[in-house]
Amino acid sequence: MSDSVSGLIQIMLAPGIMISACGLLLLGMNNKYSLVVNRIRLLNEERRRLRTEEEVVSNKKRRHKSIELQISKLSYRIFLIRNAVFSYSLAVAFFIIASLLIGLNQINSVSGLNWAVISAFLVGMLFVLSGVIFAAIEVWKGFKIVQIEIRDLS
């Protein structure tokens, strides 16, 4: 294999590092997404049980209000997780585009393609930043939901 071909492959794989990083971020966010969805389902099931029981005790009413509050907050968390996953996915798409443009540029030496490569890579990085921001907000909101649960236990 000639040096130019191996060099081209190395250059094209540089955005691949970012694709791998986004893959790891996506894996974590998809796990959180599943956990939040399962928590919403469990709380909805508990809410249904509390509604069907005839005996209404003050602590059941309090728990019902807590469940309602948690579900509303979890709904916002699922919105944030969806946005983070979408941002990471778009980042991967732009890193793939950057990688393909690098290869195309090396093969054809099109003069204006350098800006397209840099732009695609930078847009991908902006989407990574966007995903990280959504993920950070989601973690903050998750902490507040745990505080609600702990408050109910005391």
Q: What is the pLDDT of residue 60?
A: 72
C-alpha–C-alpha distance, residues 144 and 138, integer Å: 10
Q: What is the pLDDT of residue 8?
A: 65
Please, where are the H alpha helices in 53-112?
Answer: 58-108
* Confidence (pTM): 0.69
Residues 113/118/120/123 CA torsion (nearest 10 deg): -150
Consecutive 10-residue averages of pLDDT for the chain (154 residues): 58 72 79 78 74 61 79 87 92 89 82 84 91 89 74 59
